[in-house]
């Protein structure tokens, strides 16, 4: 009887321990999902706008808007000292800047005649990219004096800004020394 009672007690306690271990993790994920709902909604909405838009200048502006949303989330992650999230969001930011902003700027620059009245819009988009991403560059000083926490996001911004500048100058991704030779490995050119 004592053995049965002891076994039942141990099973009950281990069940309680298992039950208390899992909900905090599940609750943490649920809180993160609830926290991310606005970001997810924004990404979906702007993604739908991008899918419906053909004009690369408008697409580049939309991607800058998405970049701004990601920068805000990176700032929140930095304030919370959540290095993993800041790094992950930095990777997404890099993709949006390189494939979205720079890719569409490159398309627009190639499609527009040199005397097009829309040429100044390209520089305006590049300037917007600098403004939108500046908080990440500034944030590194507020969070970690060694820049370790924000380094991945900062690297993403630097890489993205460089890609935007190169696209503006006609040195876009996929061009080898300005001769138009593809560096890609057979990847198609889809809209970003």
pLDDT tens digits for 50-78?
999 999 999 999 999 999 999 999 888 88
Look at residues 68, 44, 56, 51 and name the one whose alpha carbon lies nearest to residue 136: 68
What pLDDT does residue 19 have? 43
> Model confidence at 81, in pLDDT bands (50, 70, 90)?
confident
CA–CA separation, 161 and 154 (whole Å): 10
How far CA 17 is from CA of 10, 11, 70, 127, 130, in Å, comes to: 10, 10, 38, 55, 51
φ, ψ (nearest 5 deg) of residue 88: -60, -45
Concatenating the DSSP letter of every residue in 68-122 gives: HHHHHHHHHHHHTT-HHHHHHHHHHHHHIIIIIIIHHHHHHHHHS-TT-TTHHHH
Kindly state the tokens that stand for 64.
């800058």
Q: Answer yes or no: are the C-beta atoms of 42 and 73 closer than 8 Å.
A: no
What pLDDT does residue 145 have? 56
123-148 burial: b if 16+ Cβ within 10 Å, else e: eebbebbeebbebbbebbeebeeeee
What pLDDT does residue 174 have? 38
Residue 17 or 166, more confident: 166
What pLDDT does residue 123 have? 92
Look at residues 73, 64, 87 and name the one whose alpha carbon lies nearest to residue 37: 73
Neighbours of 188 (CB within 10 A): 5
pTM score, whole prediction: 0.71
CA–CA separation, 148 and 134 (whole Å): 18
């Amino acid at each position: 009887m004592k053995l049965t009672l002891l076994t039942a007690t141990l099973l009950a306690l281990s069940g309680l321990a298992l039950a208390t271990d899992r909900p905090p993790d599940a609750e943490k994920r649920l809180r993160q999902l609830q926290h991310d709902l606005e970001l997810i909604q924004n990404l979906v909405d702007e993604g739908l706008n991008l899918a419906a838009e053909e004009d690369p200048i408008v697409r580049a502006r939309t991607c800058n808007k998405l970049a701004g949303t990601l920068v805000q989330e990176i700032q929140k992650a930095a304030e919370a000292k959540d290095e993993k999230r800041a790094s992950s969001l930095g990777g997404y930011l890099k993709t949006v800047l390189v494939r979205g902003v720079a890719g569409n700027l490159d398309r627009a620059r190639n499609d527009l005649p040199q005397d097009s009245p829309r040429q100044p819009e390209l520089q305006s988009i590049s300037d917007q990219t600098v403004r939108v991403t500046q908080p990440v560059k500034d944030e590194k000083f507020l969070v970690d004096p060694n820049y370790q926490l924000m380094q991945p996001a900062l690297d993403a911004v630097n890489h993205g800004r460089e890609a935007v500048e190169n696209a503006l100058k006609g040195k876009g991704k996929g061009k080898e020394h300005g001769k138009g030779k593809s560096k890609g490995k057979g990847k198609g050119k889809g809209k970003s």
